[in-house]
Amino acid sequence: MPTYTYRCNTCKELTEVNQSIHDIPLSHCLKCNGETNRIITSDFSIQFKGSGFYCTDSK
């Protein structure tokens, strides 16, 4: 499940929420109930598991 980051317009609190792509985005801050905006982030990692990903593996 992707992790989405929201910033409150009132208290500037950052909140990270694990949500499905199909879930409705948060519209209110969990701390002060102010309006939130989803922040687009690009910090993701790719994990390769199993054989065949390294040049030292046999083909």
The string of pLDDT tens digits covering residues 6-55 is 999 999 999 999 988 899 999 999 999 999 999 877 666 777 776 666 66
Domain ranges of the chain: 3-39
Whole-number Å distance between alpha carbons of 43 and 39: 12
pTM of the model: 0.65
Amino acid sitting at position 42? S
* pLDDT in the model for residue 1: 75
Write the CB contacts of 37 (distance below 8 Å, at least 6 apart in sequence): 6, 7, 9
Paired tokens of 41:
């982030």
> Do the Cβ atoms of 7 and 41 come closer than 8 Å?
no
* pLDDT in the model for residue 12: 94
> Do the Cβ atoms of 5 and 14 come closer than 8 Å?
yes
* pLDDT in the model for residue 7: 95
* pLDDT in the model for residue 32: 95
* pLDDT in the model for residue 57: 60
